[in-house]
């Protein structure tokens, strides 16, 4: 792992004060007098992705309340977060299993148990009432920030309304299990609820938390939970870029223990020529399937059955 991806500028914020005394813990919710959607911001799906906790802490301390509808702020994998160690910052992604691969009825209703499944089962009734959900994450590498808007047009449209970050990546998830944004509530073609995931930058950089705050504020605006005057003092003058849309055409899954890239990719590199070898999966070369293929979130944690990189096409 490179030096930059291990440098820890960001430390956890104290979320013990947000535990509450009910079940689920670490969930704050306010309902306005005026009607409106249930807007939910989720942090810490992965315990070592500190930026979301910083963003929710900022919103709570700012005293923001919804103008309409219901606003919920949720700290998901608090067990993993509590184990964060700046000497070994990657270790606290989860306690027993990746919490963002368990959002299928099979996993949630099956007989298997884990720290993450127990917490997911607690939070499930809450998420299943969310109308507009932002799941706040960060990345291993220094890739430009991006939205993962899932498979639906309404996901991509919501990400475009938020407007920051400008990269909007439509995809269908992982072979390794279902993400929260892929839950049927948010992906049913006949449904209306929308969930998007934002990757705010490298896990432990200061600027990643700053971006998470900006995305959270813009999400509250885009969903109508707050008005512009409520957040104007905190909105940074980020130049608004037109959205860049990307369609993921393939998630490359490592088949064995011997998957390696031909060089260190950060993410969002555009490979000009079709047929370029970008990695080897054992003896099998992994090549780009078309010209101007974009590499999304190359993993530095290459394990069999897990996504190594996604390949995408930039949409006009
Ligand atoms: Zn994550």
Give the 3-state DSSP-derived string for 219-268, with helices as H, strands as E and coil as C.
HHHHCCCCCHHHHCCCCCCCCCCCCEEEEEEEEEECCCCCEEECCCCCCC
Q: In this model, does residue 238 exceed pLDDT 90? A: no
pLDDT at 1: 41
- Per residue in 15-24, pLDDT tens? 999 999 888 9
Query: Which of 3-17, 57-71, 75-89, 221-235 is predicted least confidently?
Result: 3-17
What's CA 221's distance to the chain center, in Å? 19
Going from the Cα of 49 to the center of ligand 1, the distance in angstroms, rounded, reads: 6
Query: What is the maximal distance between C-alpha atoms in the chain?
Result: 62
Q: If pLDDT is split at 50, 70 and 90, which confidence band does 5 have?
A: low
pLDDT at 237: 78
Tell me how far CA of residue 229 lies from CA of 64, 69, 254, in angstroms.
Answer: 11, 18, 48
Going from the Cα of 139 to the center of ligand 1, the distance in angstroms, rounded, reads: 7
Where along the chain do the CATH 3.40.630.10 domains lie? Answer: 3-231
Mean pLDDT over residues 6-17, rounded? Answer: 92
Mean pLDDT over residues 120-137, rounded? Answer: 98
- Per residue in 293-313, pLDDT tens? 999 999 988 889 989 999 999
Mean pLDDT over residues 133-158, rounded? Answer: 96
Domain 246-314 belongs to what architecture?
Beta Barrel (2.40)
Going from the Cα of 137 to the center of ligand 1, the distance in angstroms, rounded, reads: 4
pLDDT at 4: 46
Going from the Cα of 51 to the center of ligand 1, the distance in angstroms, rounded, reads: 10
Going from the Cα of 196 to the center of ligand 1, the distance in angstroms, rounded, reads: 12
Going from the Cα of 199 to the center of ligand 1, the distance in angstroms, rounded, reads: 7
pLDDT at 67: 98
Structure tokens at 124: 């499930």
Buried b (16+ CB within 10 A) or exposed e, 291-311: eebbbbbbbeebeeebbbbbb
Q: In this model, does residue 226 exceed pLDDT 50? A: yes
Going from the Cα of 161 to the center of ligand 1, the distance in angstroms, rounded, reads: 22
Domain 3-231 belongs to what architecture?
3-Layer(aba) Sandwich (3.40)
Query: Which of 77-91, 137-151, 171-185 is predicted least confidently?
Result: 171-185
Going from the Cα of 45 to the center of ligand 1, the distance in angstroms, rounded, reads: 6
pLDDT at 245: 97
pLDDT at 239: 64
Mean pLDDT over residues 17-41, rounded? Answer: 96
CB 170 within 8 A of CB 149: yes
Q: In this model, does residue 172 exceed pLDDT 80? A: yes
Structure tokens at 266: 């950060």
Query: Which of 79-93, 97-111, 230-244, 263-277 is predicted least confidently?
Result: 230-244
Going from the Cα of 110 to the center of ligand 1, the distance in angstroms, rounded, reads: 24
Going from the Cα of 33 to the center of ligand 1, the distance in angstroms, rounded, reads: 34
Going from the Cα of 197 to the center of ligand 1, the distance in angstroms, rounded, reads: 9
Going from the Cα of 127 to the center of ligand 1, the distance in angstroms, rounded, reads: 17
Bond preceding residue 24 cis, omega within 30 of 0: yes
pLDDT at 299: 93
Where along the chain do the CATH 2.40.50.630 domains lie? Answer: 246-314
Going from the Cα of 171 to the center of ligand 1, the distance in angstroms, rounded, reads: 15
Write down how long the chain is: 316
Going from the Cα of 221 to the center of ligand 1, the distance in angstroms, rounded, reads: 24
Going from the Cα of 229 to the center of ligand 1, the distance in angstroms, rounded, reads: 31
Mean pLDDT over residues 173-199, rounded? Answer: 94
DSSP code for 177: B
Sign of the C-alpha dihedral, residues 176, 108, 184, 195? Answer: negative
pLDDT at 175: 78
Going from the Cα of 12 to the center of ligand 1, the distance in angstroms, rounded, reads: 15
């Amino acid at each position: 792992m490179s030096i930059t991806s291990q440098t820890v500028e960001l430390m956890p914020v104290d979320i013990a004060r947000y535990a509450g005394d009910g079940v689920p813990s670490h969930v704050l919710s306010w309902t306005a007098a005026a009607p409106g959607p249930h807007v939910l911001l989720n942090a810490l799906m992965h315990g070592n992705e500190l930026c979301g906790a910083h963003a929710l802490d900022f919103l709570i301390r700012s005293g923001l309340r919804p103008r309409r509808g219901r606003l919920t702020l949720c700290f998901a994998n608090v067990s993993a977060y509590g184990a964060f160690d700046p000497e070994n910052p990657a270790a606290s992604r989860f306690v027993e299993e990746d919490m963002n691969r368990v959002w299928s009825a099979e996993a949630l209703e099956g007989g298997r148990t884990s720290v993450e499944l127990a917490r997911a089962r607690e939070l499930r009734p809450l998420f299943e009432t969310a109308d507009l959900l932002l799941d706040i994450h960060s990345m291993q590498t220094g890739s430009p920030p991006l939205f993962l808007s899932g498979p639906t047009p309404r996901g991509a449209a919501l990400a475009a309304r938020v407007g920051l970050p400008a990269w909007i990546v439509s995809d269908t998830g992982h072979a390794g299990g279902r993400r929260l944004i892929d839950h049927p509530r948010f992906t049913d073609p006949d449904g209306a609820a929308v969930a998007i995931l934002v990757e705010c930058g490298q896990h432990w950089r200061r600027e990643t938390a700053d971006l998470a705050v900006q995305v959270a504020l813009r999400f509250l605006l885009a969903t109508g939970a707050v008005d512009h005057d409520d957040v104007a003092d905190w909105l940074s003058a980020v130049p608004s870029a037109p959205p860049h849309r990307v369609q993921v055409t393939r998630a490359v899954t490592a088949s064995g223990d011997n998957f390696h890239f031909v060089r260190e990719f950060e993410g969002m590199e555009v490979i000009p020529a079709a047929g370029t070898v970008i990695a080897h999966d054992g003896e099998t070369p992994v090549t780009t399937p078309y010209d101007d293929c974009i590499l999304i979130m190359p993993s530095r944690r290459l394990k069999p059955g897990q996504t190594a990189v996604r390949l995408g096409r930039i949409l006009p």
